[in-house]
Amino acid sequence: MEEKLMDEHEKLMQAKPVNEHDFLEVVRQGLSLKEIDVMTYSPLTLAYIGDDAYDLIIRTYVLNKGNMPVNKLNRMANELVKAGAQSAMMGVIEPLLDAEELAVYKRGRNAKSYTKAKNATIGDYRRATGFEALMGYLYLTGSYVRMVELIKAGLSERLDTDEV
């Protein structure tokens, strides 16, 4: 097994050079994934991956608050990833979006989902789905700087009103 992994590593190294600091590119090359036009994905598919991409950024952000019990970290993260918080962030960042980002957000917001968040209004849930679709779009296009800029703007507004 170890020898097989070494062979795979060798093949990767001989393939087109990969920027080891570009997470998505490392994943694509390492798993031999094909490139797909992001705009062909449904808005709910973008929200599916965007939810996890946003969650990873928030967990990284919360982790930087200091070494503390995992349940406390989890509570802090959950406050920022729930639908109500994402909806509030959208209210802050929507004016900052360019035309394409706004279109992706609206596609996600207007998508017909057959599920509902446990503790959110329908409006909050739909805005949160649009937010997640936007995060998925930014993640899949490798627009990490833009993604973090928008999240930072949303977090800054939230942290001005109540410390997480």
> Do residues 87 and 76 both lie within one domain?
yes
pLDDT value at residue 28: 86
Contact 49, 139 (CB under 8 A): yes
- Which of the four pLDDT bands, split at 50, 70 and 90, describes residue 163? very low
Mind telling me the catalytic residues?
Answer: 51
Q: How many domains does the chain have?
A: 2
**Which residue from 73, 71, 75, 97 is spatially nearest to 154, judged by alpha carbons?**
97
| CATH number of residue 65's parent domain | 1.10.1520.10
Asked if 27 and 107 sit in the same domain, the reply is no
Task: Tell me: do 109 and 84 sit in the same domain.
Answer: yes
Q: 72: which 2 tokens?
A: 């406390």
Calpha distance 73→94 (Å, rounded): 28
- Supply φ then ψ for residue 16, to 5 degrees: -55, 140
What is the reported pLDDT for 17? 64
Identify the band that residue 50 occupies on the pLDDT scale cut at 50, 70 and 90: very high
Q: For residue 38, give the DSSP letter.
A: G
**Shared domain check, 63 and 7:** no
> Is the distance from CB of 137 to CB of 44 less than 8 angstroms?
no
By residue range, what is the domain housing residue 79?
37-161
pLDDT at residue 48, rounded to an integer:
96
**Overall pTM > 0.75:** yes
For residues 28 and 44, membership in a common domain is answered with no
State how far the Cα of 20 lies from the Cα of 89, in Å rounded to an integer: 31
**5 band by pLDDT with thresholds 50, 70 and 90:** low
Highest mean pLDDT among 19-23, 36-40, 104-108: 104-108
- Using alpha carbons, select from 98, 96, 103 the residue that is nearest to residue 152: 96
- SS3 label, residue 1: coil
